[in-house]
A and B are shown apart, each in its own frame.
Chain A
Amino acid sequence: MFGYYVSLALRSLRGTPVLSALMVAAIAVGVGASMTTLTLNYMMSQNALQHKDDRLYAVQLDSWAPEKAYQNDTQMPWELTYRDAQALLRSDIPSRQVAMHRWGATVSQENSELRPFTAQIRVTTRDFFALFDIPFIYGNTWHKSSDQNPTREVVLSKKTNEKLFNGENSVGRSINLNGEPFTVVGVIEHWNPTPKVYDLNNGAFKNSEEIYMPFGLHRQLQIYSWGNLNGWKSEDISNYEDLLNSHYVWVQYWVELDNEKKKHDYENFLAAYIETQKTKGYFPRPLKFGLTRPSEWLVVNEVLSDDNRILGWLSLAFLLVCVVNAVALLLAKFLRKAPEAGVRRALGASRKAIFSQHLIESGCIGLIGGVMGILLTLLGLSLIRTLQMGRLDQIASMDWVMMLAAIGLAILASLLAGIYPAWRISNTNPSVYLKTQ
Chain B
Amino acid sequence: MLEIKPILSALWRNKIAALLIALQLALTLAIVSNASVIISDRKEKTARPTGIAVEDIITVNFQPVSQNYDMQTAVAADLDLIRPIPGVVEATHSNHFPLSGSGSASAYYNQPSQETGGEVANYYQVGAEFIQAMGMKLIAGRNFDPSDIQVADLTENRESSVVIVTKQFAEKLFPEGDALGKYIYGDRSSHPIEIIGIVERNLGGWVNWSKAGNAVFFPEMLIAEGNLFMRYLVRTEPGQRDSVFNQLEEKLSQRDPHRVIEMDTIENFLHKSYSRDNTMIKVLSVVIGLLTFIIALGIVGLTTFWINQRRKQIGVRRALGATRAAIGRYFLLENGMIASAGIALGMAAAQIANRMMVESYGQPQLPLPTMLSCALILLIVSLTAALVPALRAANISPATATRNV
A and B are partners in one complex rather than unrelated chains: yes
Tell me if A31 is interfacial: C-beta within 8 Å of chain B: no
Quick one: given A106-B260, A224-B227, are A329 and B302 in contact (CB under 8 Å)? yes
- Chain B, residues 53-89, CB within 8 Å of chain A (1/0): the string is 0000000000111111000000000000000000000
A residues in contact with B287, CB < 8 Å: 33, 314-315, 318
Complex CA gap A321/B64 in Å reads: 59
Whether A224 pairs with B282 at a CB distance below 8 angstroms is no
Interface string of A175-190 (1 = CB under 8 A from B): 0101110000000000
How far is A182 from B107 in the complex, measured between Cα atoms in Å?
A: 40
Tell me which residues across on chain A come within 8 A of B227, comparing CB atoms.
222-224
A234 and B157 alpha carbons, distance in the complex (Å): 10
B20 touches A309 (CB 8 A): no
Contacts of A391 in B (CB 8 A): 272, 275
- Report yes or no: B283 in contact with A106, Cβ–Cβ below 8 A: no
A307 adjacent to chain B (CB < 8 Å): yes
Q: Which residues of B contact A237 (CB under 8 A)?
A: 155-157
Partner of B67, one of A178, A331, A336: A178
What A residues does B28 contact at CB under 8 A?
A: 321
Contact A332 B31 (CB under 8 A): no
Across the interface, A324 reaches (CB within 8 A) one of B23, B258, B361, namely B23
Residues of B within 8 A of A240 (CB): 226
Give the distance in Å from the alpha carbon of A117 to the alpha carbon of B62 in the complex. 10
Is A328 touching B279 in the complex (CB atoms < 8 A)? no
CB pair B38–A310 under 8 Å, yes or no, is: yes
Residue of B nearest to A239 (CB): B155
CB distance from A130 to the nearest CB of B (A): 29
Report if B134 contacts A (CB, 8 A): no
- Per-residue CB contact flags for chain A residues 301-338 toward chain B (1 = under 8 Å, else 0) read 00001110111001101101110110111011101100
Does A6 reach chain B (CB closer than 8 Å)?
Answer: no
Known contacts being A224-B224, A234-B115, A387-B278, is A179 close to B66, with CB within 8 Å? yes
Q: Known interface pairs A116-B260, A324-B23, A328-B24. Does A224 touch B65 (Cβ–Cβ under 8 Å)?
A: no
Instruction: Judge if B21 is at the interface, Cβ distance under 8 Å.
Output: yes
B47 located at the interface, meaning its Cβ lies under 8 Å from any Cβ of chain A in the complex: no
**What's the nearest-Cβ distance from chain B to residue A96, in Å?**
29
Do the beta carbons of A317 and B27 come within 8 Å of each other? yes
Per-residue 0/1 for B190-229: is the Cβ within 8 Å of any A Cβ (1 yes, 0 no)?
Answer: 0000000000000000000000000000000000111100
B15: shortest Cβ distance to chain A, in Å? 12
Known: A29-B294, A318-B31, A321-B28. A179 touches B67 (CB 8 A): yes
Cross-chain contact A118 with B17 (CB below 8 angstroms): no
A391→B34 CA distance, assembly (Å): 27
In the complex, A287→B6 CA distance in Å? Answer: 74
Residues of the A chain whose Cβ atoms lie less than 8 Å from the Cβ of B264: none
**Cross-chain contact B155 with A317 (CB below 8 angstroms):** no
A332 and B291 form a contact (CB under 8 A): no
Q: How many residues of A contact B (CB 8 A)?
A: 61
Interface 0/1 of B339-360, CB less than 8 Å to A: 0000000000000000001001
Q: Does B116 contact A (CB under 8 A)?
A: yes
B302/A332 in contact, CB under 8 A: yes
CA distance A239 to B16 in the complex (A): 78
| A79 CA to B306 CA, complexed, in Å | 66
CB distance from B41 to the nearest CB of A (A): 12
Q: Return chain B residues, CB-CB under 8 Å to A387.
A: 275, 278-279, 282
Give the complex CA separation of A322 and B298 in angstroms.
9
A174 to B67, CA, bound (A): 18
Q: Taking the nearest CB of chain B, how far is it from the CB of A197, in angstroms?
A: 20
| Residue B188 at the chain A interface, CB threshold 8 Å | yes
Q: Does B297 have its Cβ within 8 Å of any Cβ on chain A?
A: yes
Are A19 and B301 touching (Cβ within 8 A)? yes
Chain A residues lying within 8 Å of B390, measured Cβ to Cβ, are none
- Which single residue of chain A is at the shortest CB-CB distance from B275? A388
Q: Report the minimum CB–CB distance from A413 to chain B (whole Å).
A: 13
The docked-state distance in angstroms from the alpha carbon of A384 to that of B276 is: 10
A234 to B115, CA, bound (A): 8
B residues in contact with A234, CB < 8 Å: 115, 186-189
**Residues B290 and A33 in contact, CB atoms below 8 Å apart:** yes
A434 close to B (CB within 8 Å): no
Contact A324 B155 (CB under 8 A): no
Interface assignment of B12: CB less than 8 Å from any CB of chain A: no
Q: Is A108 close to B, CB under 8 A? A: yes
Rounded to whole Å, the gap between the CB of B63 and the closest CB of chain A is: 5
A117 engages B260 (CB within 8 Å): yes
Q: Which of B38, B294, B306 has the most CB of A within 10 A?
A: B294
Interface residues of A (CB under 8 A from B): 19, 22, 25-26, 29, 33, 37, 67, 105-106, 108, 116-118, 176, 178-180, 221-224, 233-234, 236-240, 242-243, 305-307, 309-311, 314-315, 317-318, 320-322, 324-325, 327-329, 331-333, 335-336, 384, 387-389, 391, 420, 424
Known contacts A25-B294, A106-B260, A332-B305; can you find 20 more A-B pairs with CB under 8 A? A26-B298, A29-B294, A116-B258, A116-B260, A176-B65, A180-B67, A221-B226, A224-B227, A238-B157, A307-B276, A307-B280, A309-B360, A311-B283, A318-B287, A320-B27, A324-B23, A328-B302, A332-B302, A332-B306, A335-B305
Q: List 24 A-B contacts (CB under 8 A).
A: A33-B290, A116-B65, A117-B260, A118-B260, A178-B65, A179-B66, A223-B226, A224-B227, A233-B187, A237-B157, A238-B155, A242-B155, A305-B276, A310-B357, A317-B30, A322-B294, A324-B24, A325-B24, A331-B16, A331-B17, A387-B279, A388-B275, A388-B279, A389-B275
